[in-house]
Homo-oligomer: A and B are copies of this chain.
Amino acid sequence: MHEKLAELRARLMEIDDLSSAGALLNWDQSTYMPPGGAAARGRQMATLGKLGHEKATDPAIGQLLDELGPYEASLPPDHDDAALVRVARRGYERLTKVPAELIAELYAHGAASYHAWTQARPANDVATMLPYLEKTLELSRRIADCFPGYTHIADPLIDFADYGMRAETVRVLFAELRAELAPLAQTITAQPPADDACLHQYYPEAAQLAFGEQIIRRFGYDFTRGRQDKTHHPFATKFSVGDVRITTRVKEHDLSEALFSTLHESGHAMYEQGVSAAYEGTPLAGGTSAGVHESQSRLWENLVGRSRPFWQHYYPQLQAAFPDQLGAVPLDTFYRAINKVQHSLIRTDADEVTYNLHVMLRFDLELAMLEGSLAVKDLAEAWNVRYSEDLGISAPTYSDGVLQDVHWFGGLIGGSFQGYTLGNILSAQLFETARKAEPAIDSELAQGEFGALHGWLREQIYSPGSKYTASELVERVTGGPLTIVPYLAYLRGKYGELYAL
């Protein structure tokens, strides 16, 4: 049996090597590649993807998994070998249930649609994108139909990112959250807006980068096993447990851009850096779901990085780094500026209070399209209606409306948005659990130290990798299911104090 397991591991490692190589090609494309490299790079990434897919769907893997079934059944479910076989089988079944031709069609269409979108968005040209969206919707449904037995057609698509989550569960959770958040946002935005002019002075790039890197080094991001580079759209990426990189984007007239993107991506990266090294090269060696991953980025970005105790410690250092810009700006002004709540049009720029309203309406529109209750041709209108209802504004252009996010225009309709809000909800639930378990977290945070928090997260969340599903992990760590209660309490506490509600 050990031979079978060793053979499985060797095959999984080879697949992982191909996928890590592909990730490096993508990182390079987003950071250093000269423009002339673009055409060949796309082809090279496609070749690696195709070979990896061939290897990952090799029937020999299915046979090994079958042969390892009795061994798996003989072990407790949280034994590493049992988890490896279980998670590998989940991946294998997911990949083999979708015909290779359909995958190829999806990739080819996704690339064409993405390319069209890069031109249609700046041109405010929604009409061009409608036929692409129709095709994306059709492909998304066909993919979902490869997994018969679902309750909701979005369930298999949600499974890709947040395994085990069901459309109906998420819809109910989000409806509860929206019922609380929409009025909260309304109340806050009825007040005069916070003054964030202090953030919009000239901040030289090098000093911005140095400050952010100093912070995440304190967080526990390990620069001997990672690095930060500049890109257009920040992301974290992993080539091995010893090489997990982040990227950021600097605006010299917006201090918050690079800083909070760095803190955010460091949360994703610390998760991957913290996975048990024993899982290297296996499907256990990575974050367990989009939602849990996002909980880690948002925890460090928002619950730590936009908190008052954090800045009580670090603001004097920030002032020292930028004396001309911030020397005369009081802490409270700065704190209010980085937590300014407003009804804005762009999801990625939204504050903590309104962010989820952006996400949840996208989730609902996805479900409606998949169900067939919303036609693609009516999407833009439905988008504007929901923005008016939920955020009290509507976009003057499609570019800042329905065309703003890449997700529907480069991949699937379904499954791509819920993780953002699940992550926010979970960030507060996990942070609350951590602070109860480790009282040192609060006192350290006030000193600009994060050892207790990082240590707790590493042990509880990071190290198991994908051994547990998101809901198993939440249950194990918090003793209960996912709940919006801590998140609402967090927002009400923080913004109640800020806006004297």
Binding site for B on A (CB under 8 A): 13-14, 17-18, 20-22, 24-25, 28, 32-41, 43-44, 47-48, 51, 222-227, 229, 239-243, 245, 280-281
Contacts and interface: CB of A to CB of B under 8 A. Distances in A.
Residue from A13, A18, A34, A224 with most neighbouring chain B CB atoms (10 Å): A34
Contacts of A280: 40
A34 B240 contact: no
Given A44-B21, A239-B40, A240-B39, A224 B34 contact: yes
Chain A binding surface, main DSSP class:
helix
Contacts of A242: 34, 36-40
Contact of A17 (B38, B47, B240, B241): B47
Contact of A240 (B21, B41, B51, B229): B41
22 contacts: A13-B47, A14-B47, A18-B47, A18-B51, A21-B22, A21-B25, A24-B24, A24-B28, A32-B229, A34-B225, A35-B224, A35-B225, A36-B241, A37-B239, A38-B242, A39-B240, A40-B280, A41-B240, A41-B243, A43-B281, A44-B240, A51-B51
Nearest to A240: B40
A440 to B, nearest CB: 28
Identical chains bound together, number = 2
A81 B224 CA distance: 49
A32 B227 contact: yes
Contacts of A226: 34, 36
Contacts of A239: 37, 40-41, 44
A452 B33 CA distance: 29
Contacts of A40: 20, 239-243, 280-281
Contacts of A24: 24-25, 28
A281 B44 CA distance: 10
Given A21-B22, A32-B32, A40-B280, 15 more contacts: A13-B47, A18-B48, A20-B40, A21-B25, A21-B47, A24-B24, A24-B28, A33-B243, A34-B226, A34-B242, A37-B240, A37-B242, A40-B241, A40-B281, A41-B240
Given A229-B32, A243-B33, A20 B44 contact: yes
A41 B23 CA distance: 12
A223 B36 CA distance: 9
A51 B22 CA distance: 14
Given A17-B44, A21-B44, A36 B229 contact: no
A43 B17 contact: yes
Contacts of A43: 13, 17, 281
Given A239-B41, A240-B40, A243-B41, A17 B48 contact: yes
